[in-house]
């Protein structure tokens, strides 16, 4: 089993799952390129490159096939590997992530297309960002261009104890990790408008980095730009690909709010109500899914729920 972490974290985020799952599986949790203990060359980072990193990792270990689980960016990497190298993926578990369509509200991916300002943000405010993002502390982000509100997102941040906080602050401060934090979104998410032609077939129009910057810097604000109200595809080359093996999607109210009532998952909820959701159901024909009332970092906030879900799915 291979567990792939999300941003802005490292493989340390899987500590609860490793302890639980190692009783039944051989568990590997590598750091993704640019984070943790990896080398951090300042090259263009794409989803294809990140997926091939995992394939190379498997080759080095002599693993022909493995169960894959990924959270956030780790889920996007795991999905890319599964659809491009299906013979290497036994089964696929995705946790609060995306496949080919970007969530409309997530403006930081547009902000990251700028040349220098995002890098300056992580150079000056990397540790403050971790305190805001993972520890629930109000931020100032003074003197930098920031896409993040000063108030933290609603969540239970008790999971992030002092050991975890120090680990993730140290990790984000490593030379090259700020660059990776930006380029995952700059190069890894080439945004395309999604349109249907007269034959009811989807077509894609690349907006370029400048197009994304124009959306972010709209004179009346990001949300006022018409394109901010439209779905954007970051992987048109993968639009019609499928992974036919067993797959699981665990999500929170952050990404699928309509699946919850009063912070409880609706058992009658059916995934596939919009284009973002259909990017899952269309690509994963053997898909099981469930919601967990949690903040985004649910492997740490709700470890027992995630442990049980992964164990039951993979066995």
- Whole-model pTM: value is 0.98
Domain that holds residue 161: 109-186
Do 95 and 243 fall into the same domain?
yes
121, pLDDT greater than 90: yes
Do 161 and 302 fall into the same domain?
no
Do 180 and 197 fall into the same domain?
no
Do 101 and 114 fall into the same domain?
no
Q: Over pLDDT 70: what percentage of the chain?
A: 100
- Looking at residue 154, its pLDDT comes to 86
Positive/negative CA dihedral, 207, 208, 209, 210: negative
Q: Is 222 exposed, middle or buried (0-12, 13-18, 19+ CB in 10 A)?
A: middle
172, pLDDT greater than 90: yes
> What's the CATH number where 90 sits?
3.40.50.1820
* Overall average pLDDT of the 279-293 stretch: 98
- Looking at residue 190, its pLDDT comes to 98
- Looking at residue 220, its pLDDT comes to 95
* Overall average pLDDT of the 205-224 stretch: 96
Final residue before a domain boundary, out of 232, 259, 293: 232
* Overall average pLDDT of the 277-288 stretch: 98
Counted domains in the chain: 3
The secondary structure of residue 25, as a DSSP letter, is S
199, pLDDT greater than 90: no
Do 7 and 101 fall into the same domain?
yes
Do 45 and 30 fall into the same domain?
yes
Average pLDDT over the chain, rounded to an integer: 97
Dmax (CA) for the chain in angstroms is: 57
d(CA 94, CA 224): 31
Do 12 and 99 fall into the same domain?
yes
Final residue before a domain boundary, out of 201, 232, 263: 232
d(CA 298, CA 19): 16
- Looking at residue 303, its pLDDT comes to 98
Do 102 and 244 fall into the same domain?
yes
* Overall average pLDDT of the 250-256 stretch: 97
Do 221 and 293 fall into the same domain?
no
177, pLDDT greater than 90: yes
For residue 8, whether the previous peptide bond is cis, meaning omega lies within 30 degrees of 0, is yes
Among 75, 100, 95, CA closest to 4 = 75
pLDDT band for position 13 (cuts 50, 70, 90): very high
Do 222 and 245 fall into the same domain?
no
Tokens standing for residue 216: 């972010």
Final residue before a domain boundary, out of 171, 186, 201: 186
Do 228 and 243 fall into the same domain?
no
Do 68 and 11 fall into the same domain?
yes
């Amino acid at each position: 089993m291979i567990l792939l972490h999300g941003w802005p974290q490292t493989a340390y985020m899987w500590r609860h799952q490793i302890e639980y799952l190692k009783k039944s599986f051989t568990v590997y949790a590598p750091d993704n390129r640019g984070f943790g203990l990896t080398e951090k060359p300042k090259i263009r980072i794409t989803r294809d490159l990140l997926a091939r990193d995992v394939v190379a990792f498997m080759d080095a270990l002599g693993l022909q096939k493995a169960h894959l689980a990924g959270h956030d960016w780790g889920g996007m990497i795991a999905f890319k590997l599964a659809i491009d190298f299906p013979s290497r993926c036994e089964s696929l578990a995705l946790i609060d992530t995306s496949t080919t369509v970007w969530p409309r509200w997530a403006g930081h991916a547009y902000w990251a297309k700028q040349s220098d300002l995002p890098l300056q943000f992580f150079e000056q405010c990397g540790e403050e960002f971790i305190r805001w993002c993972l520890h629930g502390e109000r931020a100032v982000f003074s003197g930098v261009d920031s896409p993040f509100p000063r108030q933290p997102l609603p969540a239970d941040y008790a999971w992030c104890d002092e050991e975890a906080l120090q680990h993730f602050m140290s990790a984000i401060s490593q030379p090259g990790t700020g660059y990776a934090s930006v380029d995952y979104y700059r190069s890894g998410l080439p945004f395309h408008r999604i349109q249907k032609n007269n034959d009811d077939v989807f077509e894609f129009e690349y907006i370029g980095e400048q197009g994304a910057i124009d959306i972010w810097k709209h004179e009346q604000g990001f949300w006022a730009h018409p394109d901010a109200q439209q779905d954007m595809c970051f992987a048109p080359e993968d639009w019609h690909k499928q992974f036919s093996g067993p797959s699981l999607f665990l999500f929170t109210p952050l990404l699928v709010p309509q699946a919850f009532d009063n912070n409880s998952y609706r058992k009658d909820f059916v995934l596939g109500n919009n284009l973002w959701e259909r990017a899952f159901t269309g690509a994963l024909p053997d898909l099981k899914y469930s919601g967990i009332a949690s903040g985004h970092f649910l492997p740490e906030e709700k470890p027992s729920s995630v442990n049980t879900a992964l164990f039951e799915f993979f066995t």
